[in-house]
Structure 1
Amino acid sequence: MARGTLVIDIQLDYFPGGAYPLSGPGPAAEVARSVVDDARAAGDWVGFVQHLAEPGEGSFLVAGTTGADLLPTLTPASDDEPIIQKTRPNSFIATGLEGILAERDIDELTVVGMMSSMCVDATVRAALDLGLAVTVVEDGCAAPDLEFGGVEVPGEVVHAAFMAALRDAGASVVSRGRG
């Protein structure tokens, strides 16, 4: 069996100046990069997920826009590191990701990416449902500020709530630097 690292949607629209900036995407991307560097050094498989919304279906990560591009410091280093394009929050839906992992006998998956409250959550839950052992490097992820019922919820709180829920669901949630 083997290990893999999945980098979910670390795309330009989530950074300052983008169409949907998150809370703390820069530090999260730095941690994600260190996770990728470690995976490569260990000889583990690395894959990148890119969310692409069709024009008219969303206001960010729209296919063909610069905002949909992967962050330049987190892109494949070789043809062995695929970019898996998706149109749904769950990275396993209509992408072939499950087959890619099965071909490589990957049973342990480390996850970093954006957004904690959407695509990271959906993908991690799906991976757990498939029987994979999943580790989420929480400080390699970021979330947006949200609002519900007139209550403003800061991105850090959104992120913490989703990490707690993923841990409760069976994922190992670790940190590279937060206390």
Structure 2
Amino acid sequence: MTRTYDPRHTAVLLVDPFNDFLSEGGKIWPRLAPLAEKTGLLDHLRAVVTTARATGTRLVFVPHRRWEEGDYETWTHPNPTQLGIMERHSFARGTWGGEFHPDFQPQPGEIVVAEHWAQSGFANTDLDFQLKQHDITHVVLIGLLANTCIESTGRFAMELGYHVTLVRDATAAFQPEMMHAAHELNGPTYAHAITTTDELIAAFEGASA
């Protein structure tokens, strides 16, 4: 990958790094584990986060709504994911599952944006405002899930005029077909770059050298 990422104008968006997704014992981890382990998800997330911090690239946490009693129950059109959250109580506020994975804790000065209710990290949150206030033009999406929140956030970012990068092995999904769709079918219609962790790290380090 020959492109470079100016750390002054680039942000890594870490989407939904919750224990329920990423940790043994998490409510959703058993469904995610086969592909997450195959792609080396956790190691790649650690590598991107570490490199972003080392190169002065901004790290932005983009969390899903933490479930609370009564969420969605009076809504006219809760989506299938929200109905599942109502049943499983995924990412419940005040519980271990609703906390960020211990390896992905915000450091002082890092941004944690308002929680998104559905799939896009931009809809009904302050993500766009925060990025513009920090002069960000390029966003790199990592985290979960490849075919839902990552894709929806990436599409929205493109519509808002950001340069969008997807990282094949710093995300995961429940089925191989979902990963294929995210990166081979849908991603090329909106993302400006689709890369790997190793390629991204080389570009970050090259830009900061």
Under TM normalisation by the shorter chain, which class is it?
0.7 to 0.9
1:129: Cα distance to partner?
Answer: 0.7
Q: 1:111 to 1:56 in 2, by over 3 A?
A: same
In 1, the alpha carbon distance for the partners of 2:198 and 2:177 equals 17
Residue aligning to 2:67: 53
What letter matches 2:178 in structure 1? V
Which aligned pairs between 1:48-127 and structure 2 lie closer than 5 A?
Answer: 48-51=61-64, 52-57=66-71, 58=85, 59=88, 60-78=90-108, 80-84=109-113, 85-127=115-157
Residue aligning to 1:20: 28
What letter matches 1:54 in structure 2? E
| Structure with greater helix percent | 2
Partner deviation per Cα, 1:121-170 (whole Å, 9 max, x = no partner): 110110011110011111000111xxxxxxxxxx2221121122112323
| Structure with greater strand percent | 1
Residue aligning to 1:35: 48
**Larger of the two Rg values belongs to structure:** 2
SS of structure 1 residue aligned to 2:63: strand
Partner deviation per Cα, 1:38-81 (whole Å, 9 max, x = no partner): 11122111111221233354221222221111111012122x21
Residue aligning to 2:4: none
Residue aligning to 1:44: 57
Structure showing greater relative contact order (alpha-carbon pairs closer than 8 Å, 6 or more residues apart): 2
Residue aligning to 1:161: 181
In 1, the alpha carbon distance for the partners of 2:93 and 2:163 equals 32
1:17: Cα distance to partner?
Answer: 2.1
8 Å contact 2:62–2:112 — kept in the other structure? Answer: yes
8 Å contact 1:55–1:63 — kept in the other structure? Answer: no
- TM-score of the superposed pair, with normalisation by structure 1: 0.85
1:174 aligns with 2:188: no
1:131 aligns with 2:125: no
Percent identity over the alignment is 26
How many aligned residue pairs are there? Answer: 167
RMSD: 1.9
